[in-house]
Amino acid sequence: MTQDTFFHKKTTLNAGGKLIDLSTPKVMGIINITPDSFYAGSRKPGVDEALQQAEKMLLGGAAFLDIGAYSSRPNAEDISIAEEIDRLLPVVEAIVAAFPDAVLSIDTFRTQVAEAAIRAGAHIINDISGGSLDENMFATAARLQVPYILMHMKGTPQTMNQLAQYDDVFTEVLDYFVSRYQQLKQLGVHDVIIDPGFGFAKKNEHNYTLMNRLQDFDILGLPTLAGISRKRMIYGLLETTAAEALNGTTVLNTIGLMKGANILRVHDVKEAVEAVKIWETVNSSKTF
């Protein structure tokens, strides 16, 4: 089945009044305002460092910047809402001031953090818990009228590794999306992006099954985000490290594009943008 043959997949996104066309895949750059994210190269705990990274990513072609102040790596330290907001807001405010046209996504599962960031000028909520860790998140996304990234995870970052058990991982993740998307739609959230949650409560066989069947999520008619950058599913398979996983990331990002991904969430923007350009050229059958 080719992409969009039977299912009409939504390919536009309204983020703060900016209409973004996802029929051409877009790249989302990761900025972690944390001291302990799994990939050391992504840690930008200071405002100046975050601004420099934002500028580099925007110049490299990022359509979105995804900013997070809570590390969601396995067994990460649980920090308070106040600390998450204290880390996040100065960076959001600085990026909004320096790059007013940038589209900012906030990586949080907490309503108060999401709302504070949106009020400060961010545009999108990226919730790793799919609303399961804060019962007010769906209603908040609806009230704020912002796009919502619905990711699949079981448990919490502290417990998810113990919950990586499935009878049929694709069907379970699809059912999860169907149920939660219905809730979001009923509340009036107009722009929903789905993210299978690679690496979150999933073993390698689960991750690669989901990647292999990524295009089958098109039955939902929703844009898909693939977040696999430098993850263990790559460096564990290749027996290297996160620092050495750029080549593997580019390969898997390209496979994700072939499987219908609309957004690539990455640490390395330039390389992902190049992958999109090459995939697009091949896919459009241009001749020279």
**Where do the structural domains in the chain lie, given as residue ranges?**
24-281
Reported as type and span, the H/E element at residue 151 is strand 148-151
Distance (Å, rounded) from C-alpha 156 to C-alpha 25? 29
pLDDT of residue 3: 45
CB half-sphere exposure, 134, CA atoms < 13 A: 19
Distance (Å, rounded) from C-alpha 213 to C-alpha 216? 5
Which residues are CB-neighbours of 269 under 8 A, at least 6 positions away? 27, 29, 56, 57, 60, 61, 62
Distance (Å, rounded) from C-alpha 178 to C-alpha 180? 6
Where do we find the tokens 């390209």?
Answer: 254
pLDDT of residue 253: 98
Distance (Å, rounded) from C-alpha 117 to C-alpha 11? 25
Residues designated catalytic: 231, 265
pLDDT of residue 145: 96
Q: What are the C-alpha distances in Å from 156 to residues 70, 77, 129, 161, 229?
A: 12, 11, 8, 9, 20
User: How is the chain split among helix, strand and coil, in percent rounded to 5?
Assistant: 45, 15, 40
**Which residues of the chain fall below pLDDT 70?**
1-7, 35-45, 73-76, 285-288
pLDDT in tens, 21-49: 999 999 999 999 876 554 455 445 688 88
Where do we find the tokens 């589209």?
Answer: 103
pLDDT of residue 163: 75
At the fourth CATH level, which superfamily is domain 24-281?
Dihydropteroate synthase-like (3.20.20.20)
pLDDT in tens, 52-63: 999 999 999 999
pLDDT of residue 4: 44
Distance (Å, rounded) from C-alpha 96 to C-alpha 196? 29
Where do we find the tokens 């920090």?
Answer: 79
Where do we find the tokens 């009020």?
Answer: 119
The residue type of 214 is: L
Bridging pattern class, strands 124-127 and 148-151: parallel
The span from the first CA to the last CA of the chain, in angstroms, equals 28
Where do we find the tokens 């930008």?
Answer: 44
